[in-house]
Amino acid sequence: MFRIFLFLSLLLLPLSILHAEDGYSAELVGKNFQGTLRMKPKAAVTVELRFKNTGNQTWVNSGQPFLQLITAGPDKRASVFRHTFWPRIFSPATLLEKSVKKGETGTFRFAFLAPDTEGDYRESFRGVATKTAWVDGMNIDIPIQVTTLEQSKFLKNTSLSQSVVSSRILAQEPLLRVGLFRSPEPVIIGSDASFSVKDRDGVVLALANGGDKFSIFYDAARKLYIVSGPAAHVETPFSVRLVPDSPESTLVILSKEDRPKWNLKVNYNMYIGVLDLLWDEKKAELWIINEIGMERYLKGLVEVSNNVPIEYLKSMAIAARTYAYYHFSDKTKHSKRGYHIDAYYDQVYKGYQAESYLPRMGQAVDETRGMIVTYSGDIAITPYFTQSDGKTRSWESVWGGKPKPWCVPVADVHNKGKPMLGHGVGMSVQGAYLLAKNDKKTYVEILKHFYTGVEIERFY
């Protein structure tokens, strides 16, 4: 605890004592947007900045001094675009890579959350090696326009094979938080590769080598997370994150048993990305959350079979992406639990192993990257279900509330007279499969059949 207190005390020292030194310098070499960044009110986008290390010092993302971005003009102020994912109120991100040597490129990736007031904004950041030096050249000024986008803002993407798909320059791939499950028992996590155990503020609690295992649980009486592993026992009041050193490394939840009936040798307990353990105070539950890019998340879904028409798989990939993107942007369904979408009731997500069993779904995800269903320029939530009885149902007839004009009854001719399996709103999965198999319909035709009056747009 003393180490954490000392770290936070030093972190809060006035940055005016820091001076740029020879050894810390950078050059901006890439970003995932051009010109003005356009956002809808209350919407979120992911920003990625890439800097080349032009100095003599190696950059690191843990220990001292680690590299982070902070708000500038004035320094360390609160930002109106601050997202709950930011590690600190004045800092959107620390260096993504474990270390970046001279001549190499380092990445900062973070989320913006737009205010609800439309207008033109500007956000500025500068890089700092904590308690040591400013990073010369690591400065960026981002013009932002918060506006309700209209169809006239969309750009035609002539590289797409189906001209009915359009594109808007809006965002990069979202970083999705998936609620995997809740655990009343200690969670045991390991990996074949190295990873870091950090708290929510990026403070490194432990470093793990391949083969190491850590046990993590929450002591509700003391309000502390307890982390135990090889030569490490740490207690912290802050939530715990396990971060692989390589973006392709997997973390394994060794205490999780999730074996499909068709093959009991398989255990769905491996995940790409970050694992975040977060205590839900209201429900008194410890949630395990997988933080992962949208496209990789989609490859971990097990909503389909593998040996089915690719156009059907593409329609499923777009519907699933749209459903997840809607909840990523809306942030109301699971926000109190710290994630966007759950791994069971929303969409069935099994993580890394699903990719090897469903490679054609991975192909469909890649070939429809970033495509979203919209209605009148807005993201259209896209429910789907197993099978209709020949006709789908309207949103309000099943769930009440305000009608969704794209979720109205339509014919599902291949399932006429069959039993209804599911809620009946939106796309009939079996109907979509048969439209692709029997009628040779494209994914655009399938989606536009089940979701009335929609367009398919590439968001990123």
Q: Which of 459, 154, 182, 143 is nearest to 328 (CA)?
A: 459
Residues 6+ apart with CB under 8 A from 161: none
| Residue 410 backbone phi and psi in degrees, to 5 | -135, 160
Q: Which of 5, 13, 32, 206 is nearest to 107 (CA)?
A: 32
Q: Which of 165, 159, 171, 140 is nearest to 40 (CA)?
A: 171
Per-residue pLDDT 10s for the chain (460 aa) are: 434 433 334 344 344 334 444 589 999 988 887 788 888 888 888 888 999 999 999 999 888 789 999 999 888 888 999 987 788 888 999 998 889 999 999 999 888 888 989 888 999 999 999 878 899 999 999 999 998 864 333 333 333 334 346 555 445 788 999 999 999 999 999 999 999 999 988 889 999 999 999 999 999 999 999 999 997 899 999 999 999 998 889 999 999 999 999 899 999 999 999 999 999 888 899 999 999 999 999 999 999 999 999 999 999 999 999 999 999 887 667 877 889 999 999 999 999 999 999 999 999 999 999 999 999 989 999 999 999 999 999 999 999 999 999 999 999 999 999 999 999 999 999 999 999 999 999 999 999 999 999 999 988 8
Respond yes or no on whether the N-terminal peptide bond of residue 65 is cis (omega within 30° of 0). yes
User: What pLDDT, on the 0 to 100 scale, is given for residue 22?
Assistant: 59
User: Which tokens is 447 given?
Assistant: 């989606």
Q: Which amino acid is at 227?
A: V
Q: Which amino acid is at 198?
A: K
Q: Which of 319, 323, 317 is nearest to 340 (CA)?
A: 323
DSSP SS3 for 28: strand
User: What pLDDT, on the 0 to 100 scale, is given for residue 268?
Assistant: 96
Residues composing the chain: 460
User: What pLDDT, on the 0 to 100 scale, is given for residue 156?
Assistant: 35
Q: Provide the mean pLDDT of the chain.
A: 87
Name residue, tokens 């026992």. 233
- Is the CA virtual torsion 243, 244, 247, 253 positive or negative? negative
Distance CA 105, CA 381 (A): 38
The pTM (predicted TM-score) of the whole model is 0.67
User: What pLDDT, on the 0 to 100 scale, is given for residue 14?
Assistant: 43
For 57-74, give the DSSP string.
SPEESSSSSPEEEEETTT
What CATH fold (topology level) applies to the domain 2-147?
Answer: Immunoglobulin-like (2.60.40)
